[in-house]
Structure 1
Amino acid sequence: MGTDVEKRGLLVLLCNILILLSSVSDGGAVYKVGDSAGWTTIANVDYTHWALTKTFQLGDTIVFEYNPKFHNVMQVTHADYKACNATSPISTRTSGNDSITIDTHGHHFFLCGVPGHCQAGQKVDINVVLHRVPEEAAPTPSPVPTVVPAFSPSTAALSMPFHKFGWFLILVLQLMYICGFY
């Protein structure tokens, strides 16, 4: 079977691999703004409602599909978003098929800079949360603070999506059992 030192070395190696795999991203989800209607004023899309029905996270890609002859996409500050002010955007996109990968948490404000379009509702607030929570299991806010345990291989394993790394977790547990640690 091996010595206790060999067993512990194998266990440490497997835990390190598990931690490494838990940090691998699957590339995130892809969201087409406005779903089948896209980025437009014609379809009367409620972009506020559209965004509220999604749970955005880091690595997700937001796709704006539109006719570039009639629309554009401007990323703006919160103040400019609220005022529909397109005079000093953070960035402007005009391809008609713009993909934006979200790499920071918080609110990301976009609007169409064509006069009158933002006022007609062609603007969206993409709010990127810290952790994805399944909509059916979303917890109700609690006034009691929760204690977050210190990082350990076991907490890293528990936070991984099972469909992605569950097989690896099972392998580690089986090896721990075989080595006499379980």
Structure 2
Amino acid sequence: MGLGRGSAVVLLISLCFLVLHSQMAHAATYTVGGSGGWTFNTVGWPNGKRFRAGDTLVFKYSSGAHNVVAVNKVGYGSCKTPRGARVYQSGNDQIKLVKGQNYFICNYVGHCESGMKIAINAA
């Protein structure tokens, strides 16, 4: 018994939906720093975790006391904010990871140098 055109289209649409849904289901949400949130000495927080492109990082912190800056490798290593870097200040920032290296720092004076930075490689 063969499928008619209408049945084949419905089957194809159903398969596409299933594939897209399964990819979205794999995205995870992580609170940076765990219950302590985004604070000093979070540099080691990513250790032992597996991140994927599309996962969301939630940075929870006291707005006005800290911030989150998405930086490049040089900014991460030097604890300096490159020109044009995106600065988040809400205290509850949600940032999706891109494939490859993702770097974040707090650019308040002395905070990055005190370990308030993370580097994440997302597969």
TM-score normalised by the chain length of structure 2: 0.82
**Aligned position for 1:116:** 110
| Maintained 8 Å contact 2:42/2:117 | no
Answering whether residue 19 of structure 2 is matched by residue 34 of structure 1, we say: no
Q: Following the alignment from structure 1 to structure 2, what is the Cα–Cα distance between the partners of residues 34 and 107? A: 18
How far off its partner does 1:52 sit?
2.3
How far off its partner does 1:17 sit?
2.2
- Matched residue pairs, number? 121
Q: Give the structure with higher Rg (CA).
A: 1
Answering whether residue 52 of structure 2 is matched by residue 53 of structure 1, we say: no
Q: Following the alignment from structure 1 to structure 2, what is the Cα–Cα distance between the partners of residues 28 and 14? A: 25
User: Which of 65, 81, 95 is the aligned partner of 2:90?
Assistant: 95
| Maintained 8 Å contact 1:61/1:99 | yes
Identity %: 36
**Aligned position for 1:22:** 19
Paired residues for 1:1-182 under 5 Å: 4-6=1-3, 14=11, 17-24=14-21, 25-26=24-25, 28-41=27-40, 45-47=41-43, 49-86=44-81, 88=83, 90-102=85-97, 104-129=98-123
Structural RMSD (CA): 2.4
Q: Following the alignment from structure 2 to structure 1, what is the Cα–Cα distance between the partners of residues 90 and 26? A: 23
Q: Find runs of 4+ consecutive structure 1 residues off by over 6 angstroms.
A: none
Q: Gaps (5+ residues) in structure 2?
A: none
| Maintained 8 Å contact 1:76/1:89 | no
Query: Which has the bigger relative contact order, CA under 8 A and spacing at least 6?
Result: 2
Q: Looking at secondary structure, tell me which structure has more helix per residue.
A: 1
Q: Looking at secondary structure, tell me which structure has more strand per residue.
A: 2
How far off its partner does 1:69 sit?
2.3
